[in-house]
Amino acid sequence: MYVDMLLEAARVVHRMAGTPEMRRAYELLEERNRVMRDWTNPFRFLVQGSRNTPYVVEFTKKGWRCSCPHFAYRKRPCKHVCAVCVTLVAPREP
Ligand SMILES: [Zn+2]
């Protein structure tokens, strides 16, 4: 449910505050249009990192997940998940 996603986003922003992942997420967000919505799925986002292909960030029943190797290895929110969560909790003006 969409509200669950927003609540989990707020939790990530709170829990990850001050971590290297969150710091890198803010660096990512300084550049515009890095976080894109997938308009066919409200729980799916595309995050343009340093590579050409964007990573897929999704909110699932098990929580946030990302297609990047950092997430697969660490099993905790990566900068892409953090960037999506910040965007959801505190969206920027267009
Ligand atoms: Zn990631």
> What percent of the chain clears pLDDT 90, i.e. is strictly above it?
76
> What percent of the chain clears pLDDT 70, i.e. is strictly above it?
97
- Checking if the pLDDT of 93 tops 70, the result is no
Q: How close is the Cα of 78 to the center of ligand 1, in Å?
A: 5
pLDDT tens column, 22-66: 999 999 999 888 899 999 999 999 999 777 789 999 999 999 999
Q: How far apart are CA 59 and CA 24, in angstroms?
A: 20
Residue 33 confidence (pLDDT): 83
**Mean pLDDT (the chain, rounded):** 92
Residue 51 confidence (pLDDT): 75
Q: How close is the Cα of 79 to the center of ligand 1, in Å?
A: 6
Note whether 65 and 71 are within 8 A (CB): yes
Residues surrounding ion ligand 1 at CB below 5 Å: 55, 66, 68, 71, 78, 80
> pTM of this prediction?
0.92
Q: Which residues of 46-55 are buried (b: 16+ CB within 10 A; e: fewer)?
A: bbbbeeeebb
Q: How far apart are CA 84 and CA 29, in angstroms?
A: 9
Q: How far apart are CA 10 and CA 86, in angstroms?
A: 8
